[in-house]
């Protein structure tokens, strides 16, 4: 009985004093009542409108994307098309990009650069250094199924702009003394246009640009990039940072001591 | 000149036809003008209000938390206190929890259960199965520095409610035939109150409850949980799913074939 009393008092305190929008139900222990103790949201929360529901569902979908909770996905859910468009063309994407650049730089500054030229930072290219937003703008911001042929035509134009916060980070990381590895899922056939685009966008110096070779065909990005990171490690480099917009840039083996996930709700690469 | 013309036309098309809120600047290649091609947001975006800026910054902070971009953090940023309170006590947290439960169950259903009793799913406990929200409600929702003594008093009350979507997932995963491992950072001294709390909250059956023993003291959660997962694997189990609210529940070695990150903007465990 004493326990029931304490529980009741706690529940009373929580409900009355703190104006919670959830309740603990029930207030008696389950050996007295069969109903379990469950975190519940009371009906005091107003019934959300359809647009609020869409916003909530798309927010949750984006959280699931960025926390790597989703199975491979092919296109943005139809109802989230406008949501993704507003996100990537508005301030939220810009703020998210700036935050991850800031955290990356904070980490880079804590690394003790040994002076032997073996302290490395890896950058992915697309949606990490270069933005393909102009392409996706005319392809539904991820609502359309990826079209490799059309995307290749875009890539060969070599006019993808830099993500500004990434360009600043890139220069700072380089100035700190890191060796810069660019590790991209682009194929070696795109070597020249990639260099052309990088330079046009302001990325002027790097130590190694790694593209998919003939032996990398058919491999998942996770496998291909892990293999390349292992090779970098085997050459004696210490990988202190890895920046990418896909989890497949960051996970696998030979992972960096810190990885930085840039936002990307437009497409998924396994 | 032809290239300049094409670029100009593309830029014109993008700016006029698609009403973009960003522009590509400049439209000439960098060998003609020194300014690089950078993704920029035009001044056509209205200057956001202070409350919008706080919302944007806290949204970005929460994205960084959930994408594992932050260095170890001790407390919620002061300006994000109200934001985190509104998130965890409102619909967004509930929606995020339900989404991750749904994705987890979708994955669980794709697993071929071998019938040898060796298909396993791991659940963390706090903020994964049980909610300590009533405790954090009276401790600033993460604004206050973690107080191990006060938290222990709360844990020993054994009244943490179930996260409803996790309870449903838990029962479904169990019904599919998975062996259930509960892997918690709680210490063995809390074995009995943990069992009492789990049962009271409706978690009635599991196969093994693993708590921190004397040999696990001082280890990071990542190390402790990786060691325990390796032991589970060495016993012959196949770990198909792992649910936790901390990246330290999910990363390290002997990682599950799929991991599910539940949201938690209130605290960080390394």
Judged by a CB distance cut-off of 8 A, whether residue B167 touches chain A is yes
Residues 6+ apart with CB under 8 A from A262: A96, A97, A100, A127, A128, A163, A166, A243, A244, A245
Contact B36 A200 (CB under 8 A): yes
Which stretches of chain A are DSSP H helices? 2-12, 50-66, 81-89, 91-110, 133-137, 148-157, 164-176, 191-200, 221-234, 247-250
Measure CA of the first residue to CA of the last residue in chain B; give whole Å. Answer: 56
Note the ipTM here: 0.86
What chain B residue is nearest to A44 in terms of C-alpha separation?
B90
Q: How far apart are CA A24 and CA B31, in angstroms?
A: 66
B217 min Cα distance to partner chain A (Å): 23
Task: Please identify, in words, the CATH class of the domain defined by B80-261.
Answer: alpha beta
Give B206-231 pLDDT, tens digit per residue. 999 999 999 999 999 999 999 999 99
Residues 6+ apart with CB under 8 A from A130: A160, A161, A162, A163, A197, A198, A201
Is A161:A130 a contact under the CB 8 Å cutoff?
yes
Domain residues of chain B, as ranges?
2-41, 80-261
Binding-face residues of A in 228-257 toward B, CB within 8 A = none
Of B21, B99, B161, the CB nearest to A64: B99
Give B158-216 pLDDT, tens digit per residue. 999 999 999 999 999 999 999 999 999 999 999 999 999 999 999 999 999 999 999 99
Is B256:B250 a contact under the CB 8 Å cutoff?
yes
Distance of CA B118 to the CA centre of its chain: 27
Judged by a CB distance cut-off of 8 A, whether residue A138 touches chain B is yes
Give B38-95 pLDDT, tens digit per residue. 887 655 567 889 999 999 999 999 999 999 999 899 999 999 999 999 999 999 999 9
> A77-261 adopts what CATH topology?
Rossmann fold (3.40.50)
Q: Which residue in A5, A18, A67, A84 has the most chain B C-beta atoms within 10 A of its own C-beta, making it the best mutation to test that interface?
A: A67
Judged by a CB distance cut-off of 8 A, whether residue A145 touches chain B is no
């Amino acid at each position: 009985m004493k326990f029931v009393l304490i529980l009741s008092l706690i529940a009373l305190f929580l409900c009355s004093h703190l104006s919670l929008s959830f309740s603990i139900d029930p207030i008696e222990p389950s050996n007295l009542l069969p109903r379990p103790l469950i975190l519940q949201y009371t009906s005091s929360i107003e019934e959300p409108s359809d647009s609020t529901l869409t916003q909530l569902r798309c927010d949750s979908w984006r959280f699931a994307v960025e926390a790597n909770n989703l199975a491979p996905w092919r296109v943005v859910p139809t109802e989230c098309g406008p949501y993704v468009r507003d996100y990537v063309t508005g301030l939220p994407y810009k703020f998210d990009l700036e935050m991850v650049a800031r955290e990356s730089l904070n980490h880079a500054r804590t690394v003790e650069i040994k002076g032997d030229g073996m302290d490395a930072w890896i950058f992915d290219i697309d949606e990490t250094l270069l933005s393909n937003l102009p392409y996706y703008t005319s392809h539904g911001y991820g609502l359309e199924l990826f079209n490799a042929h059309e995307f290749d035509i875009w890539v060969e134009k070599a006019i993808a702009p830099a993500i500004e916060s990434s360009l600043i980070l890139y220069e700072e990381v380089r100035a700190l003394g890191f060796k810069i590895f660019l590790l991209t899922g682009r194929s070696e056939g795109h070597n020249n246009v990639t260099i052309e685009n990088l330079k046009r966008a302001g990325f002027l110096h790097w130590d190694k640009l790694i593209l998919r070779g003939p032996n990398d065909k058919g491999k998942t990005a996770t496998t291909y990039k892990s293999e390349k990171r292992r090779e970098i490690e085997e050459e004696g480099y210490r990988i202190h940072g890895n920046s990418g917009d896909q989890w497949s840039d960051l996970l696998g083996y030979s992972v960096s001591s810190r990885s930085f996930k840039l936002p990307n709700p437009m497409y998924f690469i396994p």
